[in-house]
Amino acid sequence: MSADVKSDNQPYDEINVTPMLDLAYVLLVVFIILTTASVQGVKVKSPQTIASQSLAKPQTRAITITRDGAVYLDAYPVTMEQLAQSLGTLKAGNPSLPVVLKGDAETQYEKVMEVLEVVKRLDITEVGLVTQRVR
């Protein structure tokens, strides 16, 4: 009998870890996909109100204003000119384009007014303001 071949009643000295490594790689890939898919938008601290509602619609565009005054359209940083151009293009494709404005509670009011002026100039009438409900 060869030294490589074990008889049926002898214990094995090594453990085959290949199936365990395959499982670990699959779990790692699933974890990476799930964590990158959940990252959406720009995080801001919304002002609080007593009665807030979810205004999200399938084709709603989100305009976000951060604390330092940066403006984002659907998580992409834009200037006021780029915002007007992008919203104009979207408005041409959907005349009843709904827009949601998410502003940080500590953002400058002037920046919010600039965004609202762009929205008004483009005749976008469905505008919602995102707030947090006070508990």
Instruction: State residue 6's pLDDT score.
Output: 58
Q: What is the pLDDT at residue 59?
A: 79
Reported as a single tens digit per residue, the pLDDT across 38-51 is 555 677 777 776 66
pTM of the model: 0.57
The closest of 90, 67, 70, 88 to 78, measured between CA atoms, is 70
* CA–CA gap between residue 126 and residue 116 (Å, rounded): 12
Taking each continuous run of H as one helix and of E as one strand, the counts in the chain are 3, 7
Distance (Å, whole) CA 115 – CA 61 = 13
Q: Quote the tokens at residue 37.
A: 């898919």
pLDDT per position as a tens digit, 84-117: 999 988 888 888 888 988 888 888 888 889 999 9
Q: Show the domains of the chain with their CATH numbers.
A: 48-133 (3.30.420.270)
For residue 56, the model assigns a pLDDT of 47
The predicted-structure confidence for 48-97, as pLDDT tens digits, reads as follows 766 655 544 457 888 989 888 889 998 889 999 999 999 988 888 888 88
Mean pLDDT in residue range 23-40: 77
Say whether pLDDT at 132 is over 80.
no
**Residue 7 pLDDT:** 64
* CA nearest to 106, candidates 56, 34, 27, 47: 47
